[in-house]
């Protein structure tokens, strides 16, 4: 790649979604300056100073779709978890987002497999009904990143699915993906994780779903360690990859950002990763650091410590230009190394 092309792409990425204004009606007395690093703590509004950048911001950037990435600390208290998530979703709607992303286990994080199974619900249960009503009330699409679902085989298996649910702004379920790679690992210093004790792996991938922000490919947490999945989703048309997560305190600092940026670069997609954070109970804590990564691999939005949300604008024209300038999918040599990610049927 020439220096001129690299400079061109960097400048395009720079103007991609770094700044945006949302001006509220006068009676609300609210004027917000949005930047990619802006984190909105729960139940508060911040005015942030923009980072100084040598770039021009085109007026069209204000019209790009805005997404909100929510960071929470789920506990075994399902009612309180919903209250926390609902506050963030309403805040996202007030800030002008078209889609809000919640992390894996947004519904609850239990102390043991028995409690997980006890607290789980079917998709037609009360909890998802509350989120359906919330999506309609806010006029917002929702990515519910990992719902403990009692499937149709619950009576036979007495196990659940880790289910990523997409609701549209009318509250309808438009897509579901059941986590295909279960986290059965033992990391020194982090404690054992045996997801398969209570969970069944999903049988298939879900085709990318069209949303106001772009075509979203669904995944969950541990799935990010398998690039074949992301490659299959992008070959099926994905423009945004989602990895709602509950990363641990040891793997988080070492692998979280590296893996997310790698998935963005190799797939040339936006990556949106809503994360659990903090201590859920005496047995478990999560790393946090929810973020959005652009197709160039730059972190354009990030949450810091504690519950809150961050905002990013999605520029699909920038994504398409990047793929045109750097056409890696046209350069693949499957005759040498096989198809690492088969397109979805």
Angle between helices 3-17 and 316-325 in degrees, nearest 10: 170
Cβ neighbours of residue 242 under 8 Å, at least 6 residues apart? Answer: 101, 143, 145, 164, 216, 217, 218, 219, 271, 272, 273, 274
Torsion of CA 240, 246, 250, 252, to 10 degrees: 20
Determine which one of 179, 215, 239, 310 is catalytic: 179
Q: What angle do CA 272, 37, 263 make, to 5 degrees?
A: 30
221 tagged catalytic:
yes
Dihedral angle sign, alpha carbons of residues 75, 93, 302, 202: positive
Determine which one of 35, 98, 104, 138 is catalytic: 104
Q: 284: closest CA among 142, 132, 113?
A: 113
206 tagged catalytic:
no
Residue showing tokens 């400079």: 7
DSSP 3-state of 272: strand
Determine which one of 35, 85, 221, 269 is catalytic: 221
79 tagged catalytic:
no
**Catalytic positions, written as ranges:** 104, 179, 221
């Amino acid at each position: 790649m020439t220096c001129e092309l690299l400079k061109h792409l960097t400048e395009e990425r720079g103007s991609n979604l770094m700044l945006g204004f949302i001006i509220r009606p006068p009676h609300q007395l609210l004027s917000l300056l949005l930047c990619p690093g802006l984190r909105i703590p729960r139940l508060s509004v911040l005015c942030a100073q923009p980072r100084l950048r040598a770039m021009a911001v085109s007026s069209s950037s204000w019209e790009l779709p805005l997404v909100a990435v929510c960071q929470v600390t789920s506990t075994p208290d399902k009612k309180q978890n919903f209250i926390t998530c609902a506050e963030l979703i309403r805040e996202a709607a007030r800030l002008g987002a078209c889609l809000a992303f919640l992390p894996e286990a947004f519904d609850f994080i239990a102390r043991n497999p028995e409690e997980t199974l006890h607290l789980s619900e079917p998709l037609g249960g009360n909890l998802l009904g509350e989120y359906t009503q919330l999506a309609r009330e806010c006029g917002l699409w929702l990515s519910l990143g990992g719902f403990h679902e009692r499937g149709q085989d619950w009576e036979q298996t007495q196990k659940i699915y880790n289910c990523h649910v997409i609701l549209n702004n009318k509250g309808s379920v438009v897509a579901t993906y059941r986590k295909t790679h279960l986290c059965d690992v033992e990391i020194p210093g982090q404690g054992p994780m045996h997801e398969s004790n209570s969970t069944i792996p999903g049988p298939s991938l879900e085709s990318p779903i069209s949303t106001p922000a772009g075509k979203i490919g669904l995944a969950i947490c541990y799935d990010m360690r398998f690039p074949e999945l992301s490659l299959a989703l992008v070959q099926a048309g994905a423009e945004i990859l989602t990895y709602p997560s509950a990363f641990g305190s040891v793997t988080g600092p070492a692998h979280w950002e590296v893996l997310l940026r790698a998935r963005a670069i190799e797939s040339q997609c936006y990556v949106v990763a809503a994360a659990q954070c903090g201590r859920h109970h005496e047995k478990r804590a999560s790393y946090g650091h929810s973020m959005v990564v652009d197709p160039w691999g730059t972190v354009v939005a990030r949450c810091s410590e504690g519950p809150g949300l961050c905002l990013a604008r999605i520029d699909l024209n920038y994504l398409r230009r990047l793929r045109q300038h750097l056409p890696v999918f046209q350069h693949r040599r499957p005759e040498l190394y096989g198809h690492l990610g088969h397109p979805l049927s």
